[in-house]
Amino acid sequence: MLALRKERMAAAPAFLRGGFRPFFLGGAAWAIVALSVWLVVLATGASVPSAFDALTWHRHEMLFGFVGAVIAGFLLTAIPNWTGRLPIAGTPLAALFAFWLAGRVAVLFSAVAGAWLAAAIDVGFFLLLAFVGAREVLQAGNRNLPVVGLVLLFGVVNGFDHAGAAGLMDPDLAWKCAVALVIVLISLIGGRIVPSFTRNWLAKQGVRESLPLQPNRFDLGVILLTALAFLAWITAPPGWFTGALFATAAAGQALRLARWKGWRTLADPLVLILHVGYAWVPIGLALLAAVDFGEPVPRSAAVHALTAGAMATMILAVMSRATLGHTGRELRAGAVTQAAYALVTVGALLRVTAPLGLIDYRLGMEIAGAAWIGAFLLFLVAYGPMLFGPRLGESAAG
């Protein structure tokens, strides 16, 4: 097996030598395509040739298409670091990426191709991804199997979304579960990497005192409380109980963020953006609490603080940092990267504030969409050549 993987790595084009390459590129490109389609729908009232209605398709593709691709890229890149095994590369990686891409096409044209065929392809991708991940982790005796379990659960929830569209279950269940899973995953993984990268950067600047705290029982308690709040959100009617859970979780997440001392990283946008992205987690939880308390806060504003805010910003931050690191580049955010960070932040701010009535709704939505698309377009401009090309010091032929 090891010899075969070495052969595949040597023979594979650079684009297929690591999971982050096709899936980060594909995820960013699909974010642009899917949101562009949605903006056209909003502007013209057009429909999509999908078994999903337009809103449900937009929601599905943002969560299971765009975010799903990035989760795949992250998992396939993290597993070799966890296990010490060679990465999935070459033809197997190409097949996995083609499976994801086929799901995007099948779901978009599911009114023609058939809803159940689209569901089988779409859900099947995550089941295969979880199988591959579990095999790698188990063969290496690694302890990160719970992360693979979350990917499997994400695939099951994807199936719920298809069942909801077919009228077989509550159509709100799947997207709520998906948002909950991704935010809990951000709380878990972000709680490791944000303080770690911050501590490392501060140490390089000669700072030796008052460094970000290592994750401890407090962090675990906040993650569990956040998961409990989402469980109540999914299963219980809106009210004070769920609101109190969200409010407490928001306070805990804000305290976690404060303990990581992000204000000390203003000189390094590559680290700072991780703090900015994570800040949307307590903001989103606090807005969900306000919704449950009966305050005049639209649910869409709260949800988009978590999706357009936390998810998109953390994804852009992790994709850019991982691409630089895994292609042998210096960990430095250039002007184009900084512009992308600014645009995704502006897009999130406008998408959250537009439903609150702080700006003209339609104008805010249009600018937010354009800013969000611009952010991922700049990512493709800056990082596309890195994702397609070989690692620095490595030939294109391996």
List the end-to-end C-alpha distance of the chain, in Å, as a whole number: 19
CA dihedral over 18, 147, 165, 63, signed as positive or negative? negative
Query: Do 161 and 178 touch, CB atoms closer than 8 A?
Result: yes
pLDDT at 383: 98
Please give the C-alpha separations between residue 320 and each of 15, 109, 310, 317, 394, in angstroms, as whole numbers: 16, 31, 16, 5, 20
Nearest to 122 by CA among 147, 100, 140: 100
Query: Do 283 and 293 touch, CB atoms closer than 8 A?
Result: no
DSSP 328: T
User: Nearest 5 degrees, angle CA 367-CA 278-CA 15?
Assistant: 75
Please give the C-alpha separations between residue 340 and each of 150, 287, 394, in angstroms, as whole numbers: 29, 25, 28
| DSSP sequence for 283-304 | HHHHHHHHHHTT-S--HHHHHH
Q: Which residues contact 110 (CB under 8 A, 6 or more apart)?
A: 49, 50, 51, 52, 117, 118, 119
pLDDT at 214: 87
Say how far apart CA 309 and CA 233 lie, in whole Å. Answer: 19
Plot region of 389 (φ>0 → left; ψ -120 to 50 → alpha; else → beta): beta
Say how far apart CA 205 and CA 220 lie, in whole Å. Answer: 29
pLDDT at 84: 83
3-state SS assignment for residue 70: helix
* pTM given for the model: 0.94
Token pair, residue 201, equals 């950067």
Nearest to 246 by CA among 219, 227, 218, 260: 227
Q: What is the pLDDT along the chain (398 residues), one digit of tens a residue?
A: 555 556 666 677 889 999 999 999 999 999 999 999 999 999 999 999 999 999 999 999 999 999 999 999 999 999 898 888 888 889 999 999 999 999 999 999 999 999 999 999 999 999 999 999 999 888 877 778 888 898 999 999 999 999 999 999 999 999 999 999 999 999 999 999 999 999 999 999 888 888 898 899 999 999 999 999 999 999 999 999 999 999 999 999 999 999 999 999 999 999 999 999 999 999 999 999 999 999 999 999 999 999 999 999 999 999 999 999 999 999 999 999 999 999 999 999 999 999 888 888 889 999 999 999 999 999 999 999 999 999 887 665 55
User: Nearest 5 degrees, angle CA 217-CA 152-CA 181?
Assistant: 50
Query: Do 286 and 316 touch, CB atoms closer than 8 A?
Result: no
3-state SS assignment for residue 317: helix
Say how far apart CA 170 and CA 195 lie, in whole Å. Answer: 38
pLDDT at 9: 61
- For 276-291, give one letter per residue: b (16+ CB within 10 A) or e: bbbbbbbbbbbbbbbb
Q: Where are the domains of the chain?
A: 15-169, 180-398
Please give the C-alpha separations between residue 162 and each of 97, 120, 167, 170, 180, in angstroms, as whole numbers: 21, 10, 9, 11, 18
Q: Which residues contact 28 (CB under 8 A, 6 or more apart)?
A: 319, 376, 379, 380
Q: Which residues contact 118 (CB under 8 A, 6 or more apart)?
A: 51, 103, 106, 107, 109, 110, 162
Q: Which residues contact 276 (CB under 8 A, 6 or more apart)?
A: 262, 313, 317, 341, 345
Query: Do 171 and 56 touch, CB atoms closer than 8 A?
Result: yes
